[in-house]
């Protein structure tokens, strides 16, 4: 009888701003699930966000996690994996599953794009027109072609149960950005497969993204993990914590002498504001 694969989770922050309590919750959930299952908790630095990536923040992240009382195994950062992203994108292009898109956000808005589960749904403006070589292009997944190739797909969330892949609320997502070698969707899917992640833990705000990631796993022949989307920490306005809105940094609390392990216990016991 074959032994079950070890439980492997990961925390994958981007060094484009300091960690806040929402990141702490995500790291703690991933860490505790891995340790409870006798598995491995990985740290992966997602550092391909162009000039916004600040290498010095990765060391801050490590100090924050240690302060919280977490133990981890570190895997190579995204910046070491660019060749794998390029190879996967090229394979999808050769199969006719990606198309170039030169549209700006304002052009997408002007085309009357509808709001979806993860922002505006691209209206397909560039899908049936020749690319303009004078403009930088992103590469989008042709979701209709992709679904026709894979057929119905299902993925499983530990809290919400089985989910049938549905890209209608996302549309043709970008897999290769104009300014970067891969979007979040492509990079994280490839990285999780490379790192042997068996349980993808992250906030409920990324639930819809898992439909895309399950699709990419099928298209690229990658192993399929399970998912665990936990609730989000909310601020006093009922909004999720976010770097761009200046949510207080863990480093500030650490440097002020706060007890990180006690804070971690408060997060475990949901003694801070937790939404869905």
Q: What is the pLDDT of residue 243?
A: 57
Q: What is the pLDDT of residue 236?
A: 67
The residues facing 39 across adjacent strands are: none
Residues 72 and 94 in one domain: no
Q: First and final CA of the chain: distance in angstroms? A: 39
Distance CA 198, CA 34 (A): 10
Phi, psi of 82 (to 5 degrees): -60, -35
Residues 63 and 108 in one domain: no
Q: What is the pLDDT of residue 52?
A: 81
| Count of positions (residues) in the chain | 276
Boundary (domain end) residue, out of 188, 223, 245? 188
87 φψ region: left (φ > 0), alpha (ψ -120 to 50), beta (else):
alpha
Residues 173 and 88 in one domain: yes
The pair of structure tokens assigned to 235 is 């601020």
Does a structural domain hold residue 198?
no
Distance CA 147, CA 162 (A): 18
Examine the pLDDT at 7 and tell me if it is beyond 80. yes
Does a structural domain hold residue 208?
no
Examine the pLDDT at 204 and tell me if it is beyond 90. yes
Residues 184 and 249 in one domain: no
Residues 91 and 137 in one domain: yes
Q: Is 29 exposed, middle or buried (0-12, 13-18, 19+ CB in 10 A)?
A: buried
Report DSSP state, residue 10.
Answer: E
Structural domains counted in the chain: 2
Does a structural domain hold residue 216?
no
Does a structural domain hold residue 178?
yes
Are 24 and 68 contacting, i.e. CB atoms less than 8 angstroms apart? yes
Residues 63 and 144 in one domain: no
With vertex at residue 57, the alpha carbon angle to CA 54 and CA 60, rounded to the nearest 5 degrees, is: 175
Residues 55 and 95 in one domain: no
- For residue range 217-255, what is the model confidence (pLDDT) as tens digits? 999 999 999 999 999 987 766 666 665 555 689 999 999
- CA 41 vs CA 60, 72, 90, 147, 156: distances in Å: 18, 5, 31, 33, 20
Does a structural domain hold residue 20?
yes
Distance CA 143, CA 116 (A): 15
Does a structural domain hold residue 204?
no
* pTM greater than 0.85 (yes/no): yes
Residues 91 and 133 in one domain: yes
Q: What is the pLDDT of residue 2?
A: 57
CATH number where 166 lies: 3.40.50.620
Number of other residues whose CB lies within 10 A of the CB of residue 137? 17
Q: What is the pLDDT of residue 134?
A: 84
The residue among 200, 183, 197, 224 whose CA lies nearest residue 89 is: 183
Boundary (domain end) residue, out of 165, 188, 211? 188
Report DSSP state, residue 94.
Answer: H
Average pLDDT, rounded, for the chain: 91
The residue among 210, 195, 221 whose CA lies nearest residue 154 is: 210
The residue among 186, 235, 184 whose CA lies nearest residue 16 is: 184
Residues 242 and 255 in one domain: yes
Does a structural domain hold residue 207?
no
Q: What is the pLDDT of residue 233?
A: 86
Residues 39 and 130 in one domain: no
Residues 126 and 62 in one domain: no
Does a structural domain hold residue 135?
yes
Expressed as residue numbers, the domain containing 171 is 81-188
Band of pLDDT at residue 276, cut at 50, 70 and 90: very low
The pair of structure tokens assigned to 142 is 């042709």
């Amino acid at each position: 009888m074959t032994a079950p694969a070890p439980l492997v989770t990961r925390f994958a922050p981007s060094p484009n701003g300091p960690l806040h309590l929402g990141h702490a919750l995500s790291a703690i959930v991933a860490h505790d699930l891995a340790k409870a299952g006798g598995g491995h908790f990985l740290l992966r630095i997602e550092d391909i966000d162009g000039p916004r990536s600040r290498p010095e923040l990765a060391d801050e992240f490590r100090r924050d996690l240690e302060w919280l009382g977490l133990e981890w195994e570190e895997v190579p950062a995204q910046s070491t994996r660019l060749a794998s992203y390029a190879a996967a994108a090229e394979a999808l292009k050769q199969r006719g599953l990606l198309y170039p898109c030169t549209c700006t956000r304002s052009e997408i808005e002007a085309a009357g794009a509808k709001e979806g589960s993860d922002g505006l749904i691209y209206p397909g403006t560039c899908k049936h027109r020749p690319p303009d070589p004078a403009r930088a292009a992103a590469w989008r997944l042709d979701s209709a072609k992709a679904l026709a190739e894979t057929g119905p797909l299902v993925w499983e969330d530990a809290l919400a149960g089985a989910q049938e892949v549905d890209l209608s609320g996302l549309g043709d997502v970008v897999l290769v950005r104009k300014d970067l070698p891969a979007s979040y969707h492509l990079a994280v899917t490839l990285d999780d497969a490379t790192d042997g992640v068996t349980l993808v833990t992250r906030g409920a705000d990324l639930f819809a993204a898992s439909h895309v990631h399950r699709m990419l796993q099928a298209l690229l022949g990658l192993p399929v993990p399970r998912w665990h989307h936990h609730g989000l920490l909310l601020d006093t306005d009922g909004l999720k914590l976010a770097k761009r809105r200046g949510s207080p940094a863990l480093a500030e609390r650490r440097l002020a002498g706060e007890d990180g392990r006690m804070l971690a216990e408060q997060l475990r016991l949901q003694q801070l504001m937790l939404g869905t």
